[in-house]
Structure 1
């Protein structure tokens, strides 16, 4: 993972973890142990989903940039599918408070997206990376290769 990707990931994960702690405290006060369990499960689910998808997209973008959009789509649909299965499996359970789960998940998703947007704006990533000095080798007549028309800059 490149440094700018790691900074964006940290910029999203740290505020989301802080919101998750606040939501867990509020849920435990409002709904007891079931609220705490619901909030913790929602926070872990959101943090895991978004962190894994950010890592996968960064990895693919670094190695296969031409596959970035299809992989992003696959990651997104996979998250939705896993979430749908989890909601169906745990829909009737009384092990955790459903409202605490839902509100914590919503707060964590909004915080992650906002943190990711702010961190992305702060990261200065070049769209086109300049060629390094090693890449500009001289050709037979002494002018740098790839330097424009007639060897001039």
Structure 2
């Protein structure tokens, strides 16, 4: 029973320290930001390259909710596909979810998503600030683990 509690606590700590890094590998600045993300101490980086992987409509809805933005705010209006095919058109929420899931290249990326923090990354240097925030989370989790014993 104690071992099961310990394993559950360690699993929760690991998932709390996992960062999903959603990016487009065709963009050099996003690959650079991934390098910075990988340098975060004590974090597991789960890379999601939208050139190779897809996320479901449900995932995109959860990410928009975590970012506290409307679905349309996930879209990069400077993207070529958006400019050529979508600009000026009006979409309801379900249409946007289908569009985002089927054409992930229109998403503003990179995005980091974890149990504690979700945000757009505007610059690879954003990770300096985030490493401090994650350090606070790590301390909180360590203290929480101590009080559970």
**TM-score higher than 0.5:** no
Structure number with the higher helix fraction is 1
Determine which structure has more spread, i.e. the larger CA radius of gyration: 1
Structure number with the higher strand fraction is 2
Alignment TM-score, normalising by the size of structure 1: 0.31
